[in-house]
Chains A and B, each alone.
Chain A
Amino acid sequence: MLDDTEGYVTEDGRKIGGVVMEMKNITLRFGGVVAIKDISFDIREGEIRAIIGPNGAGKSSMLNVISGFYHPQEGEVWYKGKKRPGMRPYQVAQQGIARTFQNIALFEGMSVLDNVMTGRIRQMSTGMFAQALWKGKAEQEEVENRETVEKVIDFLEIQHIRKTPVGRLPYGLKKRVELARALAAEPSILLLDEPMAGMNVEEKEDMSRFILDVNDEFGTTIALIEHDMGVVMDLSDRVVVMDYGKKIGDGSPDEVRSNQAVIDAYLGVQHD
Chain B
Amino acid sequence: MPEQLLFASEVFLNGLMAGVLYALVALGFVLIYKASGIFNFSQGVMALFAALTLVGIMEGRVPFSHVINATFDTEIHHFGWHVPAFAAILITMGVMVILAYCVQRFIFRHLVGQEPIILFMATIGLAYFLEGVGDLMWGSDIKKLDVGLPQGINTWIDETTFDAFGYGFFIDNLDIYASIIAALLVIVLVLFAQYTKQGRAMRAVADDHQAALSVGISLNFIWIMVWSVAGFVALVAGIMWGTKSGVQFSLSLIALKALPVLMLGGFTSIPGAIVGGLIIGVGEKLFEFAIGPMVGGATENWFAYVLALIFLVFRPQGLFGEKIIERV
Residue ranges of A at the interface with B (Cβ–Cβ < 8 Å): 67, 69, 88-91, 93-94, 98-101, 105-110, 114, 117-119, 121-122, 124, 126, 128, 131-132, 134, 138, 142, 167-168, 170, 181-182, 185
Distance to closest chain A CB from B55 (angstroms): 28
Does B251 sit within 8 A of A, measured CB to CB? no
Residue pair B215, A181 in contact (C-beta under 8 Å): yes
User: What residues of A have a CB within 8 angstroms of the CB of B196 in the complex?
Assistant: 128, 131-132, 134, 138
Stretch touching chain A among B11-19, B157-165, B206-214: B206-214
**Within the complex, which residue of B188, B195, B204, B213 is in contact with A89, where a contact is CB–CB below 8 Å?**
B213
Residue pair A107, B213 in contact (C-beta under 8 Å): no
Residue pair B197, A99 in contact (C-beta under 8 Å): no
Q: How far is the CA of A139 from the CA of B190 in the complex (A)?
A: 17
When A and B form their complex, what is the total count of cross-chain residue pairs whose Cβ atoms lie within 8 Å? 94
Q: Which residue of B is nearest A169, CB measured? A: B327
Which 8 pairs between the two chains have the least Cβ-Cβ distance?
A: A93-B216, A105-B211, A107-B207, A131-B196, A89-B213, A94-B216, A124-B197, A105-B210
Residue pair B213, A93 in contact (C-beta under 8 Å): yes
With A107-B208, A110-B203 already in contact, the answer to whether A90 and B325 are too (CB < 8 A) is no
Does B32 sit within 8 A of A, measured CB to CB? no
Does B250 sit within 8 A of A, measured CB to CB? no
Q: Which residue of B is nearest A166, CB measured? A: B207
Residue pair B210, A110 in contact (C-beta under 8 Å): no
CB-CB contacts of B182-209 with A at 8 A, as 1s and 0s?
0000001001100111111101101110
User: What residues of A have a CB within 8 angstroms of the CB of B197 in the complex?
Assistant: 121, 124, 126, 131
Residue pair B208, A105 in contact (C-beta under 8 Å): yes
A-B contact pairs, 27 of them (CB 8 A): A69-B213, A90-B216, A93-B217, A98-B214, A98-B215, A101-B211, A101-B214, A106-B207, A106-B208, A107-B207, A108-B208, A109-B203, A110-B203, A114-B200, A114-B203, A118-B201, A118-B204, A118-B215, A121-B217, A122-B216, A126-B197, A128-B225, A131-B198, A131-B199, A132-B198, A138-B196, A170-B327
Residue pair B207, A90 in contact (C-beta under 8 Å): no
Residue pair B211, A67 in contact (C-beta under 8 Å): no
With A110-B203, A132-B196, A134-B195 already in contact, the answer to whether A93 and B215 are too (CB < 8 A) is yes
With A126-B197, A132-B192 already in contact, the answer to whether A119 and B208 are too (CB < 8 A) is no
Q: How far is the CA of A124 from the CA of B192 in the complex (A)?
A: 15
Does B259 sit within 8 A of A, measured CB to CB? no
Q: How far is the CA of A137 from the CA of B235 in the complex (A)?
A: 31
Q: How far is the CA of A69 from the CA of B201 in the complex (A)?
A: 19
Q: Which residue of A is nearest B213, CB measured? A: A89
Q: Which residue of B is nearest A99, CB measured? A: B214
User: What residues of A have a CB within 8 angstroms of the CB of B206 in the complex?
Assistant: 109
Residue pair A90, B201 in contact (C-beta under 8 Å): no
User: What residues of A have a CB within 8 angstroms of the CB of B199 in the complex?
Assistant: 131
Residue among B191, B199, B206, B213 with the most chain A CB within 10 A? B213
**Within the complex, which residue of B207, B216, B217 is in contact with A109, where a contact is CB–CB below 8 Å?**
B207
Q: How far is the CA of A90 from the CA of B199 in the complex (A)?
A: 17
**Within the complex, which residue of A101, A126, A185 is in contact with B216, where a contact is CB–CB below 8 Å?**
A185
User: What residues of A have a CB within 8 angstroms of the CB of B214 in the complex?
Assistant: 67, 89, 93, 98-101, 105, 182
Does B69 sit within 8 A of A, measured CB to CB? no
Q: Is the interface of B mostly helix, strand, loop or mixed?
A: helix
Q: Which residue of A is nearest B198, CB measured? A: A128
User: What residues of B have a CB within 8 angstroms of the CB of A110 in the complex?
Assistant: 203-204, 207
Distance to closest chain A CB from B196 (angstroms): 4
Does B219 sit within 8 A of A, measured CB to CB? yes
**Within the complex, which residue of A107, A114, A138, A185 is in contact with B211, where a contact is CB–CB below 8 Å?**
A107
Residue pair A107, B204 in contact (C-beta under 8 Å): yes
User: What residues of B have a CB within 8 angstroms of the CB of A170 in the complex?
Assistant: 327
Does B301 sit within 8 A of A, measured CB to CB? no
Distance to closest chain B CB from A161 (angstroms): 15
Q: How far is the CA of A192 from the CA of B217 in the complex (A)?
A: 19
Does B155 sit within 8 A of A, measured CB to CB? no
Q: How far is the CA of A91 from the CA of B221 in the complex (A)?
A: 12
Q: Which residue of B is nearest A107, CB measured? A: B207
Q: Which residue of A is nearest B225, CB measured? A: A128
User: What residues of A have a CB within 8 angstroms of the CB of B195 in the complex?
Assistant: 134, 142
With A93-B213, A101-B214, A107-B207 already in contact, the answer to whether A167 and B200 are too (CB < 8 A) is no
User: What residues of B have a CB within 8 angstroms of the CB of A107 in the complex?
Assistant: 203-204, 207-208, 211-212
Q: Which residue of B is nearest A178, CB measured? A: B211
User: What residues of B have a CB within 8 angstroms of the CB of A167 in the complex?
Assistant: 325, 327
Does B74 sit within 8 A of A, measured CB to CB? no
User: What residues of B have a CB within 8 angstroms of the CB of A89 in the complex?
Assistant: 213-214
User: What residues of A have a CB within 8 angstroms of the CB of B213 in the complex?
Assistant: 69, 88-90, 93
Q: How far is the CA of A89 from the CA of B217 in the complex (A)?
A: 9
Distance to closest chain B CB from A97 (angstroms): 9
